[in-house]
Structure 1
Amino acid sequence: MAQPFWESKTLSEMTRQEWESICDGCAKCCLHKFIDDEDTSEATEMQPTDYIESGEQMHYSNIVCYLLNDKKCECTRYQERTVLVPDCVQLTQENLDDVFFMPPSCSYRRLHEGRGLPSWHPLLNKGKKSAMHKAGMSVRGKVVKDNEVDMEYFDEHIVTWPLNDVD
Structure 2
Amino acid sequence: MTKFAPRFWEKKPLEKLSEAEWEALCDGCGKCCLNKLEDEDSGEVALTRVACRLLDDQTCRCAHYENRHQFIPECIVLRPENLDTHAYWMPQTCAYRLLWQGKPLPGWHPLISGDPNSVHSAGVSVQGMTVSEFDTPEEDWEDYIIEEPI
Q: TM (normalized to structure 2)?
A: 0.88
Query: Which residue does the alignment assign to 2:46?
Result: 59
Q: Give the structure-1-normalised TM-score.
A: 0.80
Task: Say what the alpha-carbon RMSD is for the aligned residues.
Answer: 1.6
1:120 to 101, 108, 120: 108
1:57 Cα shift?
Answer: 2.6
Matching residue of 1:36? 39
Unpaired runs of 5+ in structure 2? none
1:95-145: per-residue Cα shift (whole Å, max 9, x none)?
A: 01111211110001111112121111111222x332211211111121112
Q: Which residue of 1 aligns with 2:8?
A: 5
Report how far residue 89 of structure 1 moved. 2.4
Q: 2:30 aligns with which of 23, 27, 32?
A: 27
Q: Secondary structure at the match of 1:120?
A: coil
| Number of the residue aligned with 1:94 | 81
Which residue of 1 is the match for residue 98 of structure 2?
110
Aligned letter for 1:157? Y
Percentage of identical aligned residues: 39
CA distance in 2, matches of 1:106, 1:71: 19
1:94 match: secondary structure: helix
**Secondary structure of the structure 2 residue equivalent to 1:62:** strand
1:138 aligns with 2:125: yes
* Cα distance in 2, alignment partners of residues 151 and 64 from structure 1: 12
Structure 1, gaps ≥5 residues long: 38-53
Paired positions, count = 145
Aligned with 2:80: secondary structure?
coil
Within the alignment, does 1:72 sit opposite 2:59 as a pair?
A: yes
- Give the greater-gyration-radius structure (CA): 1
